[in-house]
Amino acid sequence: MKSLLSRILVLLLIGVVANIAVAWLIEIKWPNPTSRKLPMPPDEAIALWSRYFPPECPFYAERYRGPAQQLDIVGFGDNVLNVAAGSVGWPFLALSSESKVDEKGRFSSYFELDAVPGRINPLPLRPVWPGFAVNSALYATMAWVFFVAPFDLRRRLRKRSRLNRGLCSACAYPIGVSPVCTECGEPLR
């Protein structure tokens, strides 16, 4: 029971690490998701805007959507003093970052590592729910399917084959009348 729990925890940890690694790789390889321009929902635009600027100022809002990324930009219209909020992750958006451009066109990061030169967004570090959890569970399941299940199956088949041949399932020593293996002590019932 304890070992089952620790195996699940290890798999989940692998899932989380894989999820973050995939998101960062996508972000580094394709920093600017400009494949599709979509309207940004007004309530989301206002929420992003009002975190940085007075609500009475006029502003524009743009949303770009790529296969594994989303980039929202709100600003005054001359590409200075605007805010970029990016999300990345596959298959669902899992991590996000936000940065503000100052009067000199520089990004200042609020939550994340410093912006890498040439990239529009800093490396995303904030989890996006529920995508972060769903992706992590998915990668954990994939790790189980490819790296755990085959070995479990092989062990189970070997165990059964040994029992069928009258051998101890643990050490393949011939089974006698004793309820435990006389060679290794494995219970035989």
What tokens does 23 get?
Answer: 């998101």
**Binding residues for Zn ion, how many (CB under 5 A)?**
8
Confirm or reject binding of residue 183 to Zn ion (CB under 5 A): yes
The CB-of-172 to Zn ion minimum distance in angstroms stands at 7
Nearest residue to 55 via CA among 46, 45, 64: 46
We find the least distance from the C-beta atom of residue 15 to Zn ion, in angstroms, to be 36
Among 133, 134, 167, 186, binds Zn ion (CB under 5 A): 186
Q: Which range touches Zn ion (CB under 5 A), out of 54-62, 105-113, 125-133, 161-169?
A: 161-169
- Token reading at 97: 């970052």
Binding string, residues 55-94; x marks residues near Zn ion by CB under 5 A:
----------------------------------------
For strand 107-109 and strand 126-127, is the pairing parallel, antiparallel, or unpaired?
Answer: unpaired
CB of 11 to Zn ion, least distance (A): 29
Amino acid at the residue 48: L
Q: What are phi and psi of 24, to 5 degrees?
A: -70, -40
What 3-state class would DSSP assign to 104? coil
Contact 171, 184 (CB under 8 A): yes
Compute CA distances 40 → 9, 49, 70, 146, whole Å. Answer: 38, 12, 11, 39
22 binds Zn ion per the rule CB under 5 A: no
Residue 52's identity, in one-letter code, is: Y
What is the smallest separation between the CB atom of 25 and Zn ion, expressed in angstroms? 47
Binder to Zn ion among 28, 47, 80, 184 (CB under 5 A)? 184
Binding mask 162-181 for Zn ion (x = CB under 5 A): ------x-xx-x-------x
Binding site for Zn ion (CB under 5 A): 168, 170-171, 173, 181, 183-184, 186
